[in-house]
Amino acid sequence: MKVNGSCHCGQIRYEAEVDPERVGICHCTDCQVLTGSAFRVTVPASAASFRLLTGEPKVYVKTADSGARRRHAFCSNCGAPVAASADAEDPPSYSLRVGCLAQKAQLLPRRQIWCQSALAWALDISSVPGTERQ
């Protein structure tokens, strides 16, 4: 599936090919802090299909408890997280942030990882009252 995305301010725009069956939710504490939310929703894209159209993301390198280093790309203007990859010159793939994709409504999560770190309330919010607008 072809997708296109951008940061919140539009300074960074990109496109890629993704497999909708590979959308996932990560509940790890790094993802909670890096998003400022309860979890992160991502879909992988091969480096061969990823194309940066405009802008140049700022990169933050995070070393995980395992020792693995990940590059987290975000907009230096609005701060929106765009993607992550291995800390390498030519990473094999990018983990796209689903919230930045125009096709996000079509990208249903198919799996969840790091559930041991999940906030209990984030696993089922169906009983929380909601309104159509603020």
SS (H, E, C) 36-59: CCCCEEEEEEECCCCEEEECCCEE
Express each pLDDT in 63-75 by its tens digit. Answer: 987 888 999 999 9
For residue 50, the domain's CATH number is: 2.170.150.70
What does pTM read for this prediction?
0.90
Q: What range does the domain containing 11 cover?
A: 2-120
Express each pLDDT in 15-50 by its tens digit. Answer: 999 999 999 999 999 999 999 999 999 999 999 999
Q: Is residue 134 part of a domain?
A: no
Q: Is residue 68 part of a domain?
A: yes
Question: Rounded CA gap, 36 and 31, in Å?
Answer: 8
Q: Which two tokens stand for residue 43?
A: 């879909």
Q: What is the count of structural domains for the chain? A: 1
Q: Phi and psi for 7 in degrees, rounded to 5?
A: -75, 175
Q: Is residue 126 part of a domain?
A: no
Q: Is residue 31 part of a domain?
A: yes
Cα–Cα–Cα angle for 4, 44, 1, rounded to 5 degrees: 45
